[in-house]
């Protein structure tokens, strides 16, 4: 009778609480979906930011290289400008020398013309005397030997003077030609070198402008990349803020959901207790057809307790790193993992001393939906992390070994569906293995 009433009560509570739980679940699912979208978007942003960092490093390296090349070009250009100035000074100096030489050559030409006039005048003087037509006539017309000697001396002097004039004419003409040719050639060479330097200067000026433009372009590109990087970081920051808000909202929704489930569970337990109190007598319950089915899935050992659920032993009674908190601490029981709907049964007959949600400060915090049974003789067993709404017993109820008390779940501090099973002896957790 009690069992039938309890089943009806549970079904009623599930029907009543289902819309509330479903609404909370939908809200949480939507927020978790948005969280996943944010994580994916942040991952893409991280890749884009890394790409911009790489691009920025490349631009900074290229900018440094271009700046070095520009500095080298400017040094070369300064050296070329210096050489060009020196060459222009040489051309100017050579032009001055050439002008001076041209003046000297003009004076030489005047000297040549003056000498030519002397020769011409002498020739005209001989022609105009009418007494002799040549130097020989002057010699042969001498009256005596002394006059002959005098005339020979005079004629010799005239002839020598004429020869000197003619030689000077020739020497001056040769000097004029050599000096003019050398000066002209040197000036031409200087002009050629000046032109070459000017061409080199123009080329370097062009290269300098190109490098200048490149440095400016790289600097502009770097500024643009930094701006893009700032925008990406800003977007990432906004997503992080939204992610924090979602995490807070999800935690709030989960708290509401757990509070609603806890309230429904407490109501169920109160109604079940009231129904139990109304019964004329409470006898030790025998395993029902349901518990018989459970016994088929629960293997028994050689001890006084049976294995409370089918599944794989994933963690024993030992020191370990807590998978939830990450702390290294004592694991006070066994973890039995299983998939799907796995019935949890009483490991031995006894009295239920607690059945419900292990709230913080209750002594069962972190166990989620938990049942604790007192078996007498100082022995108690604890069954933690059971599925919400699956508890089949209430506080104060008598249970038999193998009787279903709930369904394996993952409530409380849990990373996956499993049963946390403990055996206490005189209030101290002991290794369940020797007792099963």
Location of each CATH 2.70.70.10 domain in the chain: 284-436
Gap between the terminal Cα atoms of the chain: 32
Dihedral sign for Cα atoms in the order 106, 111, 115, 118: positive
Angle at CA of residue 315, ends 311 and 321, nearest 5°: 150
Residues 6+ apart with CB under 8 A from 212: 70
Domain 284-436: homologous superfamily in CATH: Glucose Permease (Domain IIA) (2.70.70.10)
- The 8-class DSSP code of residue 304 comes to S
* CA–CA separation, 264 and 14 (whole Å): 8
- The 8-class DSSP code of residue 434 comes to G
* CA–CA separation, 52 and 46 (whole Å): 10
How do the pLDDT tens digits run along the chain, 436 residues long? 434 444 443 444 343 344 444 455 568 788 888 989 999 999 999 999 999 899 999 898 998 899 989 889 888 989 999 888 898 898 889 888 888 888 888 887 888 788 777 777 766 665 565 444 455 666 667 777 777 787 778 767 777 777 787 787 778 778 777 887 888 888 888 888 889 888 988 998 899 899 889 998 999 998 999 899 899 999 989 999 998 998 888 888 878 777 776 777 677 667 666 665 665 444 344 444 343 333 333 333 345 899 999 999 999 998 877 776 777 778 889 999 999 999 999 999 999 999 999 987 788 988 999 999 999 999 999 999 999 999 999 999 999 999 999 999 999 988 899 999 999 999 999 999 999 9
Residues 6+ apart with CB under 8 A from 363: none
Can you give the pLDDT at residue 288?
42
The predicted-structure confidence for 285-338, as pLDDT tens digits, reads as follows 444 434 333 333 333 334 589 999 999 999 999 887 777 677 777 888 999 999
How much of the chain is helix, strand and coil, in % rounded to 5?
65, 15, 20
1-282 adopts what CATH topology?
Helix Hairpins (1.10.287)
* CA–CA separation, 267 and 272 (whole Å): 8
C-beta of residue 338 within 8 angstroms of C-beta of residue 400: no
Whose CA is closest to 24, among 261, 262, 254?
A: 254
Location of each CATH 1.10.287 domain in the chain: 1-282
Ranges of beta strands (E only) in 268-378 are 312-315, 318-321, 328-331, 334-337, 343-345, 350-357, 369-376
Radius of gyration of the chain (CA): 61
Can you give the pLDDT at residue 5?
40
DSSP calls for 125-179: HHHHH-S-SSHHHHHHT-SSHHHHHHHHHHHHHHHHHHHHHHHHHHHHHHHHHHH
């Amino acid at each position: 009778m009690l069992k039938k009433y309890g089943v009806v009560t549970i079904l009623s509570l599930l029907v009543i609480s289902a819309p509330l739980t479903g609404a909370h679940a939908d809200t949480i699912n939507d927020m978790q979906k948005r969280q996943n979208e944010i994580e994916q978007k942040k991952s893409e942003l991280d890749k884009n930011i890394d790409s911009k960092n790489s691009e920025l490093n490349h631009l900074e390296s290229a900018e440094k290289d271009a700046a070095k090349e520009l500095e080298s070009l400017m040094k070369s250009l300064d050296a070329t400008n210096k050489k060009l100035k020196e060459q222009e000074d040489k051309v100017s100096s050579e032009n001055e020398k050439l002008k001076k030489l041209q003046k000297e050559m003009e004076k030489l030409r005047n000297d040549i013309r003056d000498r030519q006039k002397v020769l011409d005048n002498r020739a005209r003087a001989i022609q105009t005397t009418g007494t002799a037509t040549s130097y020989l006539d002057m010699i042969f017309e001498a009256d005596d030997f002394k006059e002959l000697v005098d005339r020979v001396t005079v004629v010799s002097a005239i002839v020598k003077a004429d020869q000197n004039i003619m030689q000077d004419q020739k020497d001056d003409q040769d000097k004029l030609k050599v000096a003019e040719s050398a000066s002209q050639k040197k000036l031409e060479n200087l002009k050629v070198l000046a032109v070459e330097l000017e061409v080199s200067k123009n080329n370097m000026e062009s290269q300098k402008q190109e490098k200048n433009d490149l440095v400016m372009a790289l600097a502009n590109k770097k500024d643009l990349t930094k701006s893009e990087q700032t925008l990406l970081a800003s977007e990432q920051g906004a997503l992080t803020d939204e992610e924090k808000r979602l995490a807070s909202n999800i935690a709030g929704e989960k708290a509401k959901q757990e509070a609603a489930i806890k309230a429904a569970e407490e109501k169920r337990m109160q109604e079940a207790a009231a129904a139990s109190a109304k019964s004329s007598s409470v006898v030790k319950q025998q395993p029902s057809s349901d518990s018989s089915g459970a016994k088929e899935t629960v293997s028994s050992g050689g001890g006084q307790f049976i294995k409370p659920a089918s599944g794989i032993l994933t963690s024993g009674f030992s020191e370990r790193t807590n998978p939830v908190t990450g702390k290294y601490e004592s694991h006070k029981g066994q973890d039995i993992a299983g998939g799907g709907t796995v019935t949890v049964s009483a490991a031995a007959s006894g009295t239920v001393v607690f059945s419900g949600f292990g709230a913080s400060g209750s002594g069962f915090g972190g166990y989620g939906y938990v049942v604790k049974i007192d078996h007498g003789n100082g022995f108690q067993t604890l069954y933690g992390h059971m599925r919400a709404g699956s508890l089949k017993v209430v506080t104060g109820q008598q249970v038999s070994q193998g009787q279903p008390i709930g369904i394996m779940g993952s409530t409380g501090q849990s990373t996956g569906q499993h049963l946390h099973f403990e055996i206490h002896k005189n209030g101290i957790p002991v290794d369940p293995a020797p007792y099963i």
